[in-house]
Amino acid sequence: MLIALTREVPSSINACELTHVARTPIDVAAARAQHAAYEAALQEAGCTLRRLPAADDLPDSVFVEDAAVVVDELAVVTRPGAASRRAETSSVAEALRAHRDVVAIEEPGTLDGGDVLQLGETIFVGLSARTNAEGARQLAGFLEAYGYVVKTVAVEGALHLKTAVTRVRRDAVLLNPQWIDRALFDCDVIEVDPEEPFAANVLLAGETLLCSTAYPKTNARLGAVTTVDASELAKAEGGLTCCSILFSV
């Protein structure tokens, strides 16, 4: 069974962190409707939803991906790079304890789940404005014990590693070559359309590839996809991977 951990869009989302995106008003009701459609698409893809309690006082709390990294053997609770986001992790840790042993990144390490891309036994960790070398080192310490190979990669121009590259099939990634070197990947590589730099953040849920309706040119390069409108959460600099943590039980 594939579980999708999610959390409702908080009423405070207009106070979210922003790095590469200019602030524009987010319609909370519209964002919640889009988020509900995203959850429905995950269910349609075969996921069982587990919704965390809403956290209206934490503006970025809908972006649960950043709070933990879950592999088959373990859950690693992060220490998010943005101080405003650190209180998000305790409820995520509590939910994960039902399914995994849970360990945590500790100060002075910082790590956002959006910087962690798993491709089989290889785990890429983006060194970004949010994830530091110490956070990556601690994560490697936890995961290498289970045989994973952890590779760090510098992220520039994008908020997170997974803004620049995500997995689209077992053996293929989608990436923006302006932000990440395609030579890092020894699998099939598909590039985003040059007019759609933010299109690389797609979510593979089981056999279903969830993509944003905002990027038709890139989506046309991917074969069969399921599209969802994620335009309101994009104003908060969030993409499709950010709004869930997927793991098998």
Task: List the catalytic residues.
Answer: 160, 242
Residues in the interface with ligand CIR (CB under 6 A) total 18
Nearest distance in Å: CB 52, ligand CIR: 15
Q: Work out whether 179 is an interface residue with ligand CIR (CB under 6 A).
A: no
Nearest distance in Å: CB 4, ligand CIR: 15
Candidates 199, 236, 240, 245; binder of ligand CIR (CB under 6 A) is 236
Contact range with ligand CIR by CB under 6 A, out of 14-22, 38-46, 86-94, 178-186? 14-22
Nearer to ligand CIR, 80 or 93 (CB): 80
Q: Work out whether 66 is an interface residue with ligand CIR (CB under 6 A).
A: yes
Nearest distance in Å: CB 147, ligand CIR: 25
If phi > 0 it is left, if psi is from -120 to 50 it is alpha, else beta; for residue 237 that is left
Q: Work out whether 196 is an interface residue with ligand CIR (CB under 6 A).
A: no
Which residues from 101-120 bind ligand CIR, rule CB under 6 A?
114
Residue 226's beta-bridge partner residues? 210
Tell me, residue by residue from 26 to 65, as one string, x for binding to ligand CIR by CB under 6 A and - for no binding: ----------------------------------x--x-x
Nearer to ligand CIR, 114 or 135 (CB): 114
| Residue burial 231-242, b: 16+ Cβ < 10 Å; e: rest | ebbbbbbbbbbb
Nearest distance in Å: CB 239, ligand CIR: 6
Please give the C-alpha separations between residue 140 and each of 57, 76, 125, in angstroms, as whole numbers: 32, 11, 9
Q: What's the rounded Cα separation, in Å, for the pair 139 and 134?
A: 9
Tell me, residue by residue from 70 to 89, as one string, x for binding to ligand CIR by CB under 6 A and - for no binding: ------------x--x----
Nearest distance in Å: CB 155, ligand CIR: 11
Where does this chain bind ligand CIR (CB under 6 A)? 16-17, 19, 60, 63, 65-66, 82, 85, 114, 159-160, 163, 236-239, 242
